[in-house]
Structure 1
């Protein structure tokens, strides 16, 4: 998950504010910590725990004045949820001032850290982003060339690593060779923005330029922008969960409208798993778009059965199970008058652990619903993610340990059905997509080598 931003703007006082508002637009990608780093003869930075609005005050932008700025909102996978692991990471070396904001997860984190420690490197955190920062400094020190440094990074990193970086006043965006995580570029009046999702460009009134291709870098020096091919790969493997859950529906990722993809998921789900009911409802917010598609295809009306408290964050991306369970009770409330005596199709985007879904179904039934039929706009999640989603073990994944019928009974649903894998890929294709995505959590086949897992080697 995580959201990253890079802004170049000639007005040094305005640039960090633009980066702040871009981060605010990406808050859905991470809520544990936020940070900004800017360059003005040296790198200054501010980061803290909590939401973007909680971390920064108006006085901070005077400190952060600089034409080149990067930012990060964090959701932890590698590295504990604490201030030491907040990003961007900043170092000063003989190669210059370096700052890195990273979205992704390194599979070979432990190996790389051991190698660097054997070289005498000292670490202050347990985040894999610090590994990347140290390596970037090392490779820049070798010859000082950003392109060569990125090429050297590619030769040693395994996993997902989309980044925005500062090397002194040079702003860099980079997307790993298989393109796990999204990255795009927008043009501002007199500058540029590099960010995880196009919704951040829209928020600043910018003009979308294009997506950064896998293995490609975008470099902004003194207001001039260039795209540079760094690495080639035999495959692309964009995370399918960007379209299922992570991205904002108004974003366009790799030319695909997230809203259209989710609508198609709902339509295909309705064809695959129809049910006799009074109306279609959604688990807000991430299930809404698929529910609209389901209602349109099925001919059933769409109605709200749950109202979300907008000031409670996403329960899935909260790090502790006890916090997730508490959050469910605060997150949504039932519209009792809409559910009493009704047969409801309840659409959600996915089921990971099942605890949130179970609690929501219980709340709806306790409010008088006659039947609750759950429909999920993605296939069952049966394998862990090693590339930046907090799904680390099969033990915590309900679909890895139970059949669909068992899951339905555990959650208290009158029926449960998932979108098929072929239906998911058809939905993405109808929205303008390709066929090359990371489906590892759905298929147990991984696009890069992971110890102990099946490697889906490209032909």
Structure 2
């Protein structure tokens, strides 16, 4: 994925193992398969039944976790995390898992999502004497659990979780237990698998395949799963509300080989491309997708339209991140280093360029120009999702409407800005139909707030950017 130049980043990925002698090593491989969900920091906490040990740092999984670290990560259980910063900055102290120690033992936490009432909870906790060590909303969860006093940890967690508002796929671990929880609307994916007698927890099912685990089921909305020496059992901390899984998990964030609620991501993206070809047909010579997340939709568009699919754009996978470059000129050069147009495919051709989204428009403009510089006579842009008009408060780094091009411009204005010969987006109805096909039925609802502005939870004013407070539909 071209997260650094496309402008969308998902907050993080969680992977955990319970009951395996090589828990930390398995977690390493699981995190590596979830690297697309966060590239800023990573860490692993391991338990040997008596103590918790942590290794974490800023950077990619292969950069942070070296062989020497695993000499200290011994035990039957491990909790890992890859992070992209949205709530809180990208400093070391915010890298997860977070580990807290007290006289009663250790507690490690890792979560995917974003709490929309984090600011309100922090003010409340500080007023009661809590001292927060990070700017991450994840720390709030630990303080709420600890505040419940002398109750058993299981009960303290059940009391704390209903106070959280927003999206959270959460894993907590002590020396002797692991707790897995999903918010009452199930906004983020989280699944349980099994490897022999060991249990595996992952943000995406693709990680099960990597470590050789068998998928069991998804964690249900409002459910808390407990893993300990007696095995696995399920409890509830909240009544389930209609699940509203984030639509962008299917459109962009999840790997094509993952399944979410039994729906394969690659297949759903192909259907998006087919729906797009029906809604916005065009006379052209070749179809190409922007690597990597748009290739499935491009294949679907080609199949439906009868226009041949070609590799008109190639991604270079061995280039550093362009956002660290010091000037705009060098950043644009970095885009060309990451992505190249194949002149032999696009020269003299009318090209349909399929992408998954347009956030700020700058990257789309560069790619359209790149194709035309390679000889494309026309470039028709087709987007396999509706226009992103509204900020996300559940763990995607689109925090203000001001930075979203579709928030203030029409489709025609966007087309002119990106210099395309034509531009069309998939409709909201077409997206839902493409995602939800499972035995020809819609399984449940989806969060489409970034497209429609209708949020599935209350959005607290302290969460909003000042530009958006008057416009948000609360």
State the TM bucket, normalised to the shorter chain: over 0.9
Give me the whole-angstrom Cα distance separating, in 2, the residues matched to 1:284 and 1:102: 28
The 3-state SS of whatever aligns with 2:67 is coil
Match of 1:66?
A: 75
Give me the whole-angstrom Cα distance separating, in 2, the residues matched to 1:54 and 1:303: 34
Match of 1:387?
A: 394
Give me the whole-angstrom Cα distance separating, in 2, the residues matched to 1:134 and 1:330: 45
Match of 2:115?
A: 106
Match of 2:317?
A: 310
Give the CA deviation at 1:328: 2.3
- Residue segments in structure 1 that go unaligned for 5+ positions in a row: none
Pairing 1:258–2:265 present:
yes
Pairing 1:276–2:283 present:
yes
- Is the alpha carbon distance of 1:321 and 1:43 closer, same or farther for their aligned partners in structure 2, counting shifts above 3 Å? farther
The Cα offsets for residues 383-410 of structure 1, whole Å up to 9 and x where unpaired, read as 0000000000001001001000100110
- Pick one of 9, 19, 27 that aligns with 2:35: 27
Give me the whole-angstrom Cα distance separating, in 1, the residues matched to 2:320 and 2:473: 34
> 2:113 touches 2:395 (CA, 8 Å); kept in 1?
yes
- Residue segments in structure 2 that go unaligned for 5+ positions in a row: 1-9, 462-468
- Is the alpha carbon distance of 1:254 and 1:331 closer, same or farther for their aligned partners in structure 2, counting shifts above 3 Å? same
> 2:274 touches 2:300 (CA, 8 Å); kept in 1?
yes
Match of 1:406?
A: 413
- Is the alpha carbon distance of 1:8 and 1:123 closer, same or farther for their aligned partners in structure 2, counting shifts above 3 Å? same
Match of 2:358?
A: 351
Give the CA deviation at 1:172: 1.6
**Runs of 4+ off more than 6 Å:** 313-316, 318-324
The Cα offsets for residues 239-290 of structure 1, whole Å up to 9 and x where unpaired, read as 1100000000110011111111101000010011010100100000010000
- Note the 1:159-198 alignment, pairs <5 A: 159-198=166-205
Give me the whole-angstrom Cα distance separating, in 1, the residues matched to 2:192 and 2:278: 37
Give me the whole-angstrom Cα distance separating, in 1, the residues matched to 2:326 and 2:432: 32
> 1:173 touches 1:218 (CA, 8 Å); kept in 2?
yes
The Cα offsets for residues 173-215 of structure 1, whole Å up to 9 and x where unpaired, read as 1111110101001100230100101001111111110011111
Give me the whole-angstrom Cα distance separating, in 1, the residues matched to 2:321 and 2:272: 21
- Is the alpha carbon distance of 1:216 and 1:389 closer, same or farther for their aligned partners in structure 2, counting shifts above 3 Å? same
> 1:282 touches 1:305 (CA, 8 Å); kept in 2?
yes
- Note the 1:399-438 alignment, pairs <5 A: 399-431=406-438, 433-438=442-447
- Note the 1:319-334 alignment, pairs <5 A: 327-334=334-341
- Pick one of 2, 8, 18 that aligns with 2:26: 18
- Note the 1:147-158 alignment, pairs <5 A: 148-158=155-165
Give me the whole-angstrom Cα distance separating, in 1, the residues matched to 2:140 and 2:157: 14
Match of 1:211?
A: 218
Paired residues in the alignment total: 450
The Cα offsets for residues 111-153 of structure 1, whole Å up to 9 and x where unpaired, read as 11111112221122111111112222323x340231x223222
Give me the whole-angstrom Cα distance separating, in 2, the residues matched to 1:377 and 1:220: 39
> 2:162 touches 2:237 (CA, 8 Å); kept in 1?
no
- Pick one of 88, 96, 114 that aligns with 2:105: 96
The Cα offsets for residues 53-94 of structure 1, whole Å up to 9 and x where unpaired, read as 000111111101111110000011101112111000000124
Match of 2:464?
A: none
Pairing 1:454–2:473 present:
yes
Give me the whole-angstrom Cα distance separating, in 2, the residues matched to 1:408 and 1:126: 39
Give the CA deviation at 1:156: 1.4
The 3-state SS of whatever aligns with 2:20 is coil
Give the CA deviation at 1:313: 7.5
- Pick one of 35, 42, 45 that aligns with 1:37: 45
> 2:288 touches 2:298 (CA, 8 Å); kept in 1?
yes
Match of 2:385?
A: 378
Give the CA deviation at 1:159: 1.0
Match of 2:368?
A: 361
TM-score of the superposed pair, with normalisation by structure 1: 0.94
Give the CA deviation at 1:223: 5.9
Give me the whole-angstrom Cα distance separating, in 1, the residues matched to 2:144 and 2:101: 13
Give me the whole-angstrom Cα distance separating, in 2, the residues matched to 1:97 and 1:56: 22
Give me the whole-angstrom Cα distance separating, in 2, the residues matched to 1:420 and 1:134: 43
The 3-state SS of whatever aligns with 1:446 is coil
> 1:105 touches 1:387 (CA, 8 Å); kept in 2?
yes
Match of 1:7?
A: 17
Q: CA RMSD in A?
A: 2.0
TM-score of the superposed pair, with normalisation by structure 2: 0.91
Give the CA deviation at 1:298: 0.3
Give me the whole-angstrom Cα distance separating, in 2, the residues matched to 1:121 and 1:319: 39
Match of 1:80?
A: 89
> 2:221 touches 2:241 (CA, 8 Å); kept in 1?
no
> 2:243 touches 2:444 (CA, 8 Å); kept in 1?
no
Give the CA deviation at 1:430: 2.0
